């Protein structure tokens, strides 16, 4: 398989990236071979870059965001309020106010989870979710720069469709007018935010949850559905997407997996009944690895620096003068890398230019 387009261009500038893509697209990869030295070295280098550069934080915004969250959580139970604030704000506050240059530097690891997802520690920046806009608004680029933020659209569902070769799920993503969360939410037949309800059902289902867990997740999302209704939703999901169901079941009990880039993965015993979910996350993690391995070429050409990687979201700090050229190129690069994992399901990525990490600060691309 030959990958055409922007990925080829950056492979020509990066032996490690070319080596990784070659491993991924090889028609007969050798199992148990492990990641190549070039790939491992490139990923270590990318994580060292994240640790060295860090990300800028506006102390005043951070403190006001923290106080506003504390006010909002006043009505919650003491445990919920304390836990949420400690996890999302406490470590970031501590790191920000102890920094001498206004930048927060986390420690990064790709061995914290068995699927190999990149995780930040001390502080754990990935715990600041998209819903935590008050805190994200305090994460800002340096003067004369903007954030270019790339987000893979429905990456895990698209990967699931491609890996399982489920035609019905693939067809959902081929029609841009369809929204899988909206459709599943309407199955319930309740008024209100059907998309939010659909998301509360679909994602746990993808990760092997049963009817009890689905009902719990829906309740936490503000949607009260009984366990009996959750059971019917689960049964309908399995009947609507039979190839996905069969693929998930085939992975149960598998004790060792190799990722597309050759990482040997051994699920813990507690995950043996949901190995398929870990496979999806492992492929997603390798998609992000490919993206990170293009970073040296992007930095050389645009002086663009990766400052954050959070699940399926990547944040670059880019000089104002280069943003207009950089954003469309990185969107193409994200589509190309996701295509390697989700084909034949079409890939999709959203790229925005922002003045902070918060979605509310998106700005129009310069002409």
Residues 192, 341 within the same domain? no
Using only C-alpha atoms, the chain has a radius of gyration, in whole angstroms, of 21
Residue count of the chain = 367
Determine the Cα–Cα distance for residues 25 and 172; give it in Å rounded to an integer.
Answer: 26
Write the DSSP symbol of residue 112.
S
Degrees to nearest 5, angle at CA 125 with 216 and 210: 20
CATH of the domain at 39: 3.30.70.370
Which residue range forms the structural domain that includes residue 321? 6-156+280-363
Helix H or strand E encompassing 320: none
Alpha-carbon separation of residue 333 from 6, 67, 328 (angstroms): 6, 39, 9
Alpha-carbon separation of residue 278 from 29, 72, 208, 328 (angstroms): 20, 35, 10, 31
Q: Which of 240, 258, 288 is the last residue of a domain?
A: 240
Residue 352: inside a domain:
yes
pTM of the model: 0.88
Residue 258: inside a domain:
no
Residues 56, 92 within the same domain? yes
Which pLDDT value is given to residue 227? 82
SS3 46: helix
Determine the Cα–Cα distance for residues 166 and 362; give it in Å rounded to an integer.
Answer: 35
Q: Which of 240, 263, 292 is the last residue of a domain?
A: 240
Residue 273: inside a domain:
no
Residues 73, 177 within the same domain? no
First and final C-alpha spacing in the chain: 36
Residue 313: inside a domain:
yes
Alpha-carbon separation of residue 226 from 29, 135, 183, 184, 211 (angstroms): 46, 34, 19, 16, 9
Residue 193: inside a domain:
yes
Residues 37, 111 within the same domain? yes
The answer to whether the beta carbons of residues 258 and 183 sit under 8 Å apart is no
Contacts of 158 (CB under 8 A, 6+ apart): 152, 173, 338, 342, 345, 346, 347, 348
pLDDT single digits (tens) 265-315 = 888 877 767 888 888 989 999 999 999 999 999 999 999 999 999 888 999
Write the DSSP symbol of residue 256.
-
Q: In what order do the strands lie in the sheet with 362-363?
A: 305-310, 313-319, 145-152, 349-354, 362-363
Residues 292, 231 within the same domain? no
* Largest interatomic CA distance in the chain: 57
Residues 104, 125 within the same domain? yes
Residues of the chain with pLDDT under 50: 1-3, 28-33, 76-82
Residue 253: inside a domain:
no
Which pLDDT value is given to residue 13? 86
Residues 174, 60 within the same domain? no
Which pLDDT value is given to residue 110? 85
Residue 259: inside a domain:
no
Q: Which of 210, 240, 270 is the last residue of a domain?
A: 240
Residues 30, 64 within the same domain? yes
Q: How many domains is the chain built from?
A: 2
Residues 149, 188 within the same domain? no
Residues 30, 149 within the same domain? yes
Which pLDDT value is given to residue 35? 64
Phi, psi (5° rounding) for residue 266?
A: -120, 100
DSSP strand E in the chain: where?
A: 55-57, 103-104, 107-109, 119-121, 139-140, 145-152, 257-258, 264-265, 305-310, 313-319, 349-354, 362-363
Residues 177, 131 within the same domain? no
Residue 14: inside a domain:
yes
Residues 61, 95 within the same domain? yes
């Amino acid at each position: 398989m030959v990958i055409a387009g922007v990925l080829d261009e950056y492979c020509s500038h990066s032996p490690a990236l070319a080596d990784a893509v070659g491993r991924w697209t090889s028609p007969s990869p050798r199992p148990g071979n492990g990641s190549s030295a070039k790939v491992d070295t490139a990923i270590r280098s990318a994580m060292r870059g994240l640790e060295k550069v860090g990300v800028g934080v506006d102390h005043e915004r951070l403190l006001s965001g923290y106080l506003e969250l504390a006010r909002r959580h006043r009505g919650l139970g003491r445990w919920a309020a304390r836990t949420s604030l400690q996890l999302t704000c406490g470590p970031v506050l501590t790191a920000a106010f102890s920094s001498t240059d206004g930048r927060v530097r986390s420690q990064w690891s790709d061995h914290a989870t068995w699927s190999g997802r990149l995780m930040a520690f001390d502080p754990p920046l990935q715990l600041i979710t998209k819903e935590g806009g008050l805190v994200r608004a305090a994460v800002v680029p340096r003067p004369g720069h903007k954030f270019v933020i790339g987000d893979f659209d429905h990456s895990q569902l698209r990967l699931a469709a491609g890996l399982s070769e489920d035609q019905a799920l693939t067809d959902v993503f081929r029609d841009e007018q369809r929204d899988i969360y909206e459709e599943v939410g309407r199955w319930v037949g309740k008024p209100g935010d059907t998309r939010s309800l659909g998301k509360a059902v679909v994602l746990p289902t993808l990760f092997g949850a049963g009817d009890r867990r689905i009902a719990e997740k829906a309740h936490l999302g503000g949607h009260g559905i009984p366990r009996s209704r959750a059971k019917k939703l689960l049964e309908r999901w399995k009947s609507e997407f039979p190839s996905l169901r069969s693929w998930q079941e085939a992975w149960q009990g598998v004790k060792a997996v190799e990722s597309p880039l050759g990482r040997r993965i051994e699920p813990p015993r507690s995950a043996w009944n949901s190995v398929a979910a870990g496979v999806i996350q492992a492929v997603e993690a390798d998609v992000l690895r490919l993206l990170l391995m293009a970073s040296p070429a992007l930095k050389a050409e645009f002086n663009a620096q990766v400052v954050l990687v959070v699940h399926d979201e990547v944040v670059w700090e880019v000089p104002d003068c280069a943003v207009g050229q950089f954003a469309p190129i990185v969107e193409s690069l994200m589509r190309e890398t996701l295509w390697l994992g989700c084909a034949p399901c079409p890939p999709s990525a959203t790229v925005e230019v922002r003045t902070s990490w918060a979605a509310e600060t998106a700005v129009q691309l310069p002409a």
